[in-house]
Amino acid sequence: MKINRFIVLAAIALLIVGAMGFISYKGFAQVSTPTMQAPDCSQQDDNSAEVEGAPDTDNVDLQCGDQNAPDEQEAKGAESLDAESTDGQESVPQGTPAISADQAQQAALAVHSGTVIKTELDNENSKLVYSVEFNDGVDMKVDAMNGAVLGTETGQN
């Protein structure tokens, strides 16, 4: 008798769970995702439907084109902030130095004697500096705005 009662209770529970599952399935199956219509970008500048002088009361802006593409201002800002160019080399520093490369060499030679191998304009920590390289491995940093020697780096650690 106890086994029959257990089987009946299990069958009732199974029917209740099955009915709830069926109702849930029907509810989810009938819900359809709303379809979004693509905006008509050919009428983007057509304001014939708007009354002149009336305030714009809708909160929907018509957006045409690729919405994932970077804006022109963002792209220009990213290019100017990017310290590396596409080939991995440092980009040319932005700004105009107040002294020439020859004047930077003269300032470096006043502090260190030797033969200058190379002088190039660098952008270090958002500051324009000339890097004056000597044949003995010394690299002097000269401020490109006032000609002051900022520091000396040797090839040794």
Give the single-character DSSP code of 37: P
- Lowest model confidence (mean pLDDT) among 38-42, 104-108, 128-132, 149-153: 38-42
Angle at 155 between CA 102 and CA 150, to 5 degrees: 45
Contacts 24+ apart (CB under 8 A), 62-70: 63/39, 64/39, 65/41
pLDDT at 51: 62
Per-residue confidence (pLDDT) for residue 113, from 0 to 100: 87
Q: Grade residue 65 by pLDDT with cuts at 50, 70 and 90.
A: low
pLDDT of 94 strictly over 70: no
Residues written for the chain: 157
Question: Structure tokens of 117?
Answer: 């191998």
CB-count burial class (<10 Å; 0-12, 13-18, 19+) for 114: middle
How many domains, in total, are found in the chain?
A: 1
Kindly report which listed range (57-71, 111-125, 131-145) carries the lowest average pLDDT score. Answer: 57-71
Whether residue 115 is contained in a domain is answered as yes
Beta bridge partners of 141: 131, 151
* Whether the predicted pLDDT of 132 surpasses 90: yes
Residue 115, C-beta contacts closer than 8 angstroms, at least 6 positions apart: 134, 135
User: Structural domain of residue 138, as residue ranges?
Assistant: 101-153
pTM strictly above 0.75:
no
Assess if residue 121 is contained within a domain.
yes
Evaluate whether residue 83 is within a structural domain.
no
pLDDT score of 84 more than 50: no
Q: Quick check: is 131 in a domain? A: yes
pLDDT in tens, 12-47: 999 999 888 888 877 776 655 555 555 566 655 555
Read off the CATH number of the domain in which 136 is found: 3.10.450.40
**149: phi then psi, degrees, rounded to nearest 5:** -75, 120
